[in-house]
Amino acid sequence: MTTNNYQNINIDDGVTSPPPLKIFTILRLGLFNLGVGLMAVLTLAVLNRVMITELAIPASIAAGTLALSQLVAPIRVWLGQLSDGKKLFGFHRTGYIRTGIVMAGITILIAVQLVWILGTNIEANNGWQWNPTTIGTSVGLGIMFILHGIALGASSTPFTALLVDISEEESRSKIVATIWSMLMVGIVIGGITGNIFLGNLAVGEMEENPLISVADLQNPINMLFLIVSGVVVILALIGTWNIEKKYSRFHLRTSNEAREQNIGLREALRVLTSSRQTGIFFFFLMMVTTSLFMQESVLEPYGGDVFGMGIGETTLLNSFWGVGILLGYSATGFLVVPRIGKQNTARIGCLLVAICFLLIIFSGLTQNEGILKGTMILFGIAAGVTTIGSLSLMLDLTVAETAGTFVGAWGLSQAMARGIAIALGGWVLDIGKLIFGSNLWLAYSSVFFCEALVALGAILLLNQVSVKEFKESTRKATELVMEGDLD
């Protein structure tokens, strides 16, 4: 049995070099991401809007509980390493992906029922009050989102590691662009579906009907969540069918026996921390993710409170954003990155993101829905440029022998930042409401302005990233780990 991790030959399990991925296979694999996009619309376009605007749950409570699904991100490193070394249902990645997505669907369905308990209590008390029901239900909701986050981590971290397993460096930007485009297709479809299901639910005149009753909301939203959760599970099963078995290069890049004997979590973490570039890129990803997602918990309420848009209309904003990202993904992966490089692409994307947030602020000043919708398309393009540049760079900053651990670390960075960003969005909004009183435009604008500043700050960290330095230091550390000499 060979221990040469980079020799393209058969090893003891008889695995030969897999065939190259065809576009149909890449698109089928992208069905998993399409489902994740659908589920994201449920939580961060529908549920957060209903909690904050329709049910009048404080933004800090709504955003804080939603954020917990991301703040459990440290477990992603362990989950990634676990998928490196231990099979589940006969596979290193697929078993984790499927189990995780099923649990994610179950937990989000339970979370919705807890939201109705909060809403009913608010109706009975004519507003939010701290009492045993609201405290206990808020804690339960937080726990359910923690479990939801763990389930998503158990699914998405091995999925991204699978992309490393089935691809080569020169083809990754195109694969990433295609598969993450499917994520945005899911968001677009989710926005349209939400508009269809919830289009008749609109906020009444504030003097006469400030809130929609829980009874009016409950049935259509329950049905929407149930159908979408089932579809997401089916898409994950179809998307991952036979992919790992047929296309994975996992066995060609490392010996499983050597991995289980020599590269456990402790050793994998040593490789992970062997280069200062890991830390630099980790915090760069955190800043980029924060800049993109602080708005996630406040955008739909922004449409409702500042523009007077209904639930279906604000949910549809995700479709405008999703169309923009699709344009950004396709142009970036196939045209921009090959011409100007991954690092320059991410740099330009961060600048464009900052500009877009200033335009979102301007749209609220004019209260022009057309400007808001157009800006959401531009923001999607900017986010697409930033995401593909960053993700392509991320996969270059990943060691094949410990791909799951590295992907877990990058997922940790993004998920922690996303959780912090979602919570910050709600907290900054509540602080803005305290400072600016009835001027809701200024309160929401404070969130968007903070995001613009963080996007510009991310560029400073990106300037310190060096793929060459990373590869040199981690390659040496990996060799020492395999020899058992890294102290």
Q: Domain 26-198+211-483: give its CATH code.
A: 1.20.1250.20
State the pLDDT confidence band at 359, using cuts at 50, 70 and 90.
very high
Q: Give me the pLDDT at residue 257, please.
A: 43
Burial of residue 126 (number of CB atoms within 10 Å: 0-12, 13-18, 19+): exposed
Exposed e or buried b per residue across 185-211, where buried means at least 16 C-beta atoms within 10 angstroms of its C-beta: bbbbbbbbbbbebbeebbbeeeeeeeb
Residue ranges of domains in the chain: 26-198+211-483
pLDDT 10s digits, 108-166: 999 999 989 988 888 888 877 888 888 999 999 999 999 998 898 888 888 877 877 77
Q: Which residues are paired to 88 by β-bridges? A: 91
Average per-residue pLDDT for the chain: 77
CA distance 122 to 210: 13
- Do residues 320 and 377 make contact, with C-beta atoms less than 8 angstroms apart? yes
**Residue 2 pLDDT level (bands cut at 50, 70, 90):** very low
Tokens of 126: 């004519």
User: Could you report the per-residue pLDDT of 316-333, keeping only the tens digit for each?
Assistant: 787 787 788 878 877 887
Answer yes or no: is pLDDT of 209 > 60. Answer: no
Whether the CB-CB separation of 255 and 1 falls below 8 Å is answered with yes
Identify the pLDDT of residue 273: 62
Q: How many of the other CB atoms lie within 10 Å of CB of 379?
A: 25
pLDDT higher for 54 or 306?
306
More confident: 395 or 341: 341
Buried b (16+ CB within 10 A) or exposed e, 254-279: bbbeebeeebebebbbbbbebbebbe
Query: Can you tell me the mean pLDDT for 347-351?
Result: 91
CA atoms within 13 A on the CB side of 417: 22
Q: What's the predicted TM-score (pTM) here?
A: 0.65
Rounded to whole angstroms, the Cα distance separating 250 from 404 reads 11
Average pLDDT over residues 344-373: 91
Instruction: Round to whole Å and give the CA distance between 29 and 242.
Output: 10
Other Cβ atoms less than 10 A from the Cβ of 230: the count is 12
243 vs 236, which has greater pLDDT?
Answer: 236
- The reported pLDDT for the residue numbered 82 is 74
CB-count exposure of residue 448 (10 Å: 0-12, 13-18, 19+): buried
Phi, psi of 88 (to 5 degrees): -130, 120
